Amino acid sequence: MKKSEYDLVIIGGGPAGLAAALEAKKNGVSKILICERAPHLGGILNQCIHNGFGLQYFKEELTGPEYASRFIEELENSDIDVKLGTMVMEIRDDKKVIAVNREEGMFQIGTKALILAMGCRERTRGAITIPGSRPSGIMTAGTAQSYVNLEGYLPGKEVAILGSGDIGLIMARRLTLEGVNVKGVVEVMPYSTGLIRNKVQCLDDFGIPLLLSHAIIEVHGKERLEGVTIAKVDEKLKPIEGTEQYVSCDTLLLSVGLIPENELSNNLGCEIDKVTRGPVVNEKRITNIPWVFACGNVLHVHDLVDNVTQEAEIAGKAAADFINHKMNKEEKDVIVTHDKNIGYVVPQHIDALNHQEQTIKFFLRVKNPDEEVRLIVKDNFNKTLLNLKKTIVEPGTMVTFNLSREFVTKDTSSIDISITKEQAQ
Amino acid sequence: MEVKKFICIGCPKGCSLKIEHTEKTIHEISDYSCKIGLKYAKTEFTEPKRTITTTVKLKSGELPFVPVKTKEPVNKEKIFEVMNVISALEIESPISVGDVVVSNIAGTGVDLVCTRNIKKVS
Ligand SMILES: Cc1cc2nc3c(=O)[nH]c(=O)nc-3n(C[C@H](O)[C@H](O)[C@H](O)COP(=O)(O)OP(=O)(O)OC[C@H]3O[C@@H](n4cnc5c(N)ncnc54)[C@H](O)[C@@H]3O)c2cc1C
Ligand code: SF4
């Protein structure tokens, strides 16, 4: 087996991997390698040809491929190595990465540090259960997006979409533009889970109905999908008898969520958060394994690529500090807890003795939509460190905030984050 | 006086905008959080516009299709007319981000440009 040595290996060449590599380079890492299993860099952005990317990071509205190309061009002008069509098979605990590609077969790469940037995959029908037959014509919205935008063929003539996630909404518009009859989007929750701007510009613009509190209760068709039966659901999400309706369609797109791609991390022994389904990390995006970092959708599902880039820069800088022995030798762990209105918070813990950055960046998701709330951060002495007003919070929109490092001292043992209705003093 | 409400599509925040007007005359625009929202409310009231993103067939490229967009938003009513022009196109590779595919597409005054770099295959 062929062997090579690098300072830093990055798995995944999507926006997370690209930004992490460039940031590590800027911070003085000499030998960097990105392994990407696809034939091109850019990750999921290549199929996201719609605009809406980069408003925060570049202060202009770009399409997915344009956003990716800015990083790819910078990378091509650097001495960062890239292996395309290269699938990482295993990460060994002796800091060896096993990968495979057509030209070299199976090979081994030794490294000082590793960044996980494998992104996520879509939930499939098996992950949610729809009764009925298993005809063809049922696929995830992302698969349909790749067919239409990269390969140039349409998945069907009459389409129904299950789930109001952004990919489903984007595909409703995309297919309508290509002349496909999009019958509607069915969402089991009483609210849309995608961004409101996507409901406006992808559904309302074309008069595509969004059926909230509705479920697909049966799938019809033998070889090919012929239609679905939908019904209204009650508060417990149970179908209400007598509200059934038949919708004819030859294609059903599933837009029911994404799951971080963590088989490699799992096998290596990374601790995985049950809610995010990604590794547990501290504010430097270090996993429980000191030489392994994580960023982007492999860590938790982001709705905005701008946040992915920022997080990847944190991981890239931290990996560089680790490689260059700039990291503090001793650590003091501060646990981050949250109340029941919050689904998850990343990072899950912070190091009180890390003095590299002035601020700590947090990402969180709420469990239920709410209005006029306050986001309050307290420490173990019950001292309020931060009290922010939030006009609207929704599960589909990630909440981000910065906490000044000065609030975390050597006496801090935990930090609690809550979202409450009450006015705080 | 009448009131019309729009949701701004300028950024993921999705502010709800309010326009007070009498027929076609705007009196006041409120509830926007930034100047993009103010501008959006004005055009959405007078002449709604959208950016179109789609793909164009590519000859002898590394990939069979290249993603494109209208450089500026175009009149919403022209969307399908623009799509008809685009679906008949086939262009030569190589192609770079920003290359103009069609200028003044379907008489909108807006150019259609490429959004990805794609090399030619020999
Ligand atoms: C359909 C869709 C629409 C979106 N729309 C928007 C939007 O409008 N605006 C916005 O800001 N954001 C949007 N996003 C979000 C944003 O695009 C993502 O959050 C971002 O692309 C995630 O970046 P990533 O690098 O973590 O993952 P990815 O882009 O998924 O990249 C991961 C890469 O890792 C590679 N990989 C995985 N496993 C291996 C392995 N074992 N070996 C080698 N390589 C591997 C994959 O091939 C892939 O290229 C959208 C996302 C999707 C899916
Ligand atoms: S008004 Fe400004 S902040 Fe509000 S949605 Fe529009 S662009 Fe975003």
Q: Which of the listed CATH numbers 3.40.50, 1.10.10, 2.60.40, 3.30.70 matches domain A329-425?
A: 2.60.40
- The answer to whether A50 contacts B12, with C-beta atoms less than 8 Å apart, is no
pLDDT digit string (tens) for B36-54? Answer: 999 999 999 999 999 999 9
Q: Where in chain A do CATH 3.50.50.60 domains reside?
A: 1-121+258-327, 124-256
Contact by Cβ (8 Å): B67, B95: no
- Find the helix or strand (DSSP H, E) in which B80 lies: helix B79-87
For residues B102 and B63, membership in a common domain is answered with: yes
Assess if residue B120 is contained within a domain: no
Q: Which atom of ligand 1 is nearest to the CA of A305?
A: 11
Ligand 2 center to residue B103 CA distance, Å? 30
pLDDT digit string (tens) for A298-337? Answer: 999 998 999 999 999 999 999 999 999 998 888 899 999 9
CATH of the domain at B101: 3.10.530.10
HSE, CB side, 13 Å, CA atoms: give it for residue A246.
7
Contact of B4 with chain A, judged by CB distance below 8 Å, is answered with no
For residues B75 and B106, membership in a common domain is answered with: yes
Count: domains in chain B: 2
Q: Please report the sign of the dihedral spanned by the C-alpha atoms of residue A70, residue A73, residue A79, residue A85.
A: positive
- The answer to whether B11 contacts A49, with C-beta atoms less than 8 Å apart, is no
Contact by Cβ (8 Å): A170, A140: no
The answer to whether domain A124-256 has CATH 3.30.450.40 is no
Cα distances from A142 to residues A22, A25, A122, A149, A356, in angstroms, run 28, 32, 7, 10, 38
Name the residue with tokens 């533009």.
A177
For residues B109 and B57, membership in a common domain is answered with: yes
For residues B67 and B97, membership in a common domain is answered with: yes
For residues B38 and B65, membership in a common domain is answered with: no
For residues B59 and B11, membership in a common domain is answered with: no
Residues 6 or more apart whose Cβ sits within 8 Å of residue A92: A98, A268
Residue-by-residue DSSP string for B16-73: EEEEEEETTEEEEEES-SSHHHHHHHHHHHHS-EE--EEEEEEESBSSSEEEEEESS-
- Find the helix or strand (DSSP H, E) in which A35 lies: strand A32-35
Q: Please report the sign of the dihedral spanned by the C-alpha atoms of residue A236, residue A238, residue A243, residue A248.
A: positive
Contact of B12 with chain A, judged by CB distance below 8 Å, is answered with yes
Q: To test ligand 2's pocket by mutation, which of B5, B7, B8, B35 has the most ligand atoms within 8 angstroms of CB?
A: B8
Residue of B nearest to A195 (CA): B12
Ligand 2 center to residue B7 CA distance, Å? 9
Residue of A nearest to B70 (CA): A51
Contact by Cβ (8 Å): A90, A73: no
List the single residue in A62, A63, A197 with the smallest CB-CB distance to B12: A197
Question: If you ran DSSP here, which 8-state letter would residue A34 be given?
Answer: E
Q: Return the SS3 of A238.
A: coil
Residue B84 belongs to domain spanning: 53-114
Q: Where in chain A do CATH 2.60.40 domains reside?
A: 329-425
CA distance A211 to A189: 10
Closest ligand to residue A296's CA: 1
Residue of B6, B53, B77, B79 to mutate, testing the A interface (most A Cβ within 10 Å of its Cβ):
B53
For residues B57 and B42, membership in a common domain is answered with: no
- The answer to whether B83 contacts A152, with C-beta atoms less than 8 Å apart, is no
pLDDT digit string (tens) for A180-208? Answer: 999 999 999 998 888 889 999 999 999 99
Q: Which atom of ligand 1 is nearest to the CA of A12?
A: 34
List the single residue in B8, B10, B115 with the smallest CB-CB distance to A63: B115
- What does the pLDDT profile of chain A (425 residues) look like in tens digits? 899 999 999 999 999 999 999 999 999 999 999 999 999 999 999 999 999 999 999 999 999 999 999 999 999 999 999 999 999 999 999 999 999 999 999 999 999 999 999 999 998 866 556 777 778 999 999 999 999 999 999 999 999 999 999 999 999 999 999 999 999 999 999 988 888 899 999 999 999 999 999 999 999 999 999 999 999 999 999 999 999 999 999 999 999 889 999 999 999 999 999 999 999 999 999 999 999 999 999 999 998 999 999 999 999 999 999 999 998 888 899 999 999 999 999 999 999 988 778 899 999 999 988 989 999 999 999 999 999 999 888 888 889 999 999 999 889 999 999 999 866 44
Return phi, psi of residue A14, to 5°: -85, -170
Residue of A nearest to B119 (CA): A40
Hey, what amino acid is at A43? G
Residue numbers in B near A65 (CB within 8 A):
67, 97, 115-116
Q: Which atom of ligand 1 is nearest to the CA of A54?
A: 11
Residues B81, B83, B86: CA angle, nearest 5 degrees: 115
Contact by Cβ (8 Å): B3, B18: yes
Q: What is the pTM of this model?
A: 0.94
Assess if residue B85 is contained within a domain: yes
Contact by Cβ (8 Å): B110, B85: no
Assess if residue B119 is contained within a domain: no
Assess if residue B122 is contained within a domain: no
Q: What percent of chain A has pLDDT over 90?
A: 86
- CATH number of the structural domain A1-121+258-327: 3.50.50.60
**Does this complex have an ipTM over 0.85?**
yes
